[in-house]
Amino acid sequence: MAYKYCTATNWGKNFFTHEERRQFYLSGHPGEVWVVGDNLYGDQWISKVSGAIKSKDEAQAIVTGEIETAQAAYDALSAEEQSRQTRPVTYNLP
């Protein structure tokens, strides 16, 4: 499956609808990054939410940066606080 990448701020209700979820792949990631199925409906959704198109590398860099920030925040916690949470892990966008 081919994807497009963008950033967009989730405004809540109707940011994405059930109908849209059935029409194209959509997944949200840290840094307001969205991975969007590359079809007509995905394009229409990016336009609807005023998404800022990113390359995959750009999108990955945003996500990784967010996770590394969260990792640093976790590492700064006390041992007791760490025991109540888990350390975020980096991952690759599809």
Q: Residues near 92 by Cβ (< 8 Å), separated by ≥ 6?
A: 60
What would you measure as the largest C-alpha separation in the chain, in angstroms? 49
Minimum Å gap between C-beta 55 and other proteins is: 21
Give the 3-state secondary structure of residue 37.
strand
Closest CA to 25 of 16, 14, 36: 36
The 51-90 contact track toward other proteins, x by CB under 8 A, reads: ---------------xx-xx---------xx--xxx-xx-
From 3, 5, 24, 45, residue interacting with other proteins (rule: CB under 8 A): 24
- Residues in contact with other proteins by CB under 8 A are 10-24, 26-30, 39, 41, 66-67, 69-70, 80-81, 84-86, 88-89, 91
